[in-house]
């Protein structure tokens, strides 16, 4: 049975899909910020350095490399900005004290205790639950729009039933990808 969507229905479904994907994308970014005991350059994604009066992202003024499993090396291109970079890292409150040797900055990630690992897993579970709530709210809002369209006689009862199945399918796939992200991140955190 082929179903032809009107342009309006297609637009709403696309918009819903994009919003759900954006929620998952935000969750991925948030997960990248969670320190899992391994050196991860993404922990510095939200570090901005006061560079000649402009808040500049750290990754736009330095090379950030992983020198071993637990050490990040930050090579600042302009040596005069080293102190400001160090200050910005401290202010970002990432839980690691930078080591500045006058040429480069090292971040040594401490081993995570079992207790800390469990706290981090709880934290990421909470993050993924919040993401699922956001996705379900997007689903609800979209369904409300379609129900209003049915009440306004823009679509039929059968159209609505078909559209509801499509919305559910998209929502289920999105929640499945959230669960997969959570599982992978949880594994990464618990792996010693």
Cα 30 to its chain centre, rounded Å, is: 4
pLDDT above 70: residue 3 = no
CA distance linking residue 133 with residue 145, whole number of Å = 18
CATH number of the structural domain spanning residue 78: 3.30.1360.40
Decide which of 108, 134, 157 is a domain's last residue: 108
> Higher pLDDT residue, 41 or 73?
73
Co-location of 121 and 173 in the same domain: yes
Q: Is residue 65 part of a domain?
A: yes
Containing structural domain, residue 129: 7-33+113-190
pLDDT digits 0-9 by tens, 83-142: 999 999 998 887 788 999 989 999 988 888 888 888 889 999 999 999 999 999 999 999
Give the number of domains in the chain. 2
Co-location of 59 and 92 in the same domain: yes
CA distance linking residue 146 with residue 21, whole number of Å = 20
Count of H helices and E strands in the chain?
Answer: 4, 6
Co-location of 131 and 117 in the same domain: yes
Query: Quick one: pLDDT at residue 40?
Result: 80
Mean pLDDT score of the chain: 90
Q: What is the mean pLDDT of residues 158-162?
A: 93
Q: What is the mean pLDDT of residues 12-32?
A: 94
Q: Which two tokens stand for residue 33?
A: 């910020």
Q: What is the pTM of this model?
A: 0.73
């Amino acid at each position: 049975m082929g179903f032809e969507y009107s342009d309006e229905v297609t637009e709403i479904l696309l918009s819903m899909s994009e919003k759900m994907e954006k929620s998952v994308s935000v969750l991925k970014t948030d997960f990248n910020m969670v320190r899992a005991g391994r050196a991860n350059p993404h922990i510095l994604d939200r570090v901005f350095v006061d560079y000649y009066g402009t808040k500049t992202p750290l990754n736009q003024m330095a090379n950030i490399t992983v020198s071993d499993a637990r050490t990040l090396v930050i090579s600042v291109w302009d040596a005069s900005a080293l102190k400001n970079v160090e200050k910005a890292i401290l202010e970002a409150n990432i839980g690691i004290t930078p080591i500045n040797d006058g040429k480069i900055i090292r971040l040594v990630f401490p081993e995570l205790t079992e207790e800390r690992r469990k706290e981090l897993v709880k934290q990421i579970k909470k993050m993924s639950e919040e993401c699922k709530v956001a996705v379900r709210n997007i689903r609800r809002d979209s369904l409300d729009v379609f129900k209003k369209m049915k009440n306004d006689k823009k679509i039929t009862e059968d159209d609505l039933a078909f559209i509801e199945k499509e919305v559910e399918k998209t929502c289920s796939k999105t929640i499945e990808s959230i669960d997969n992200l959570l599982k992978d991140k949880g594994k990464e955190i618990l792996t010693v």
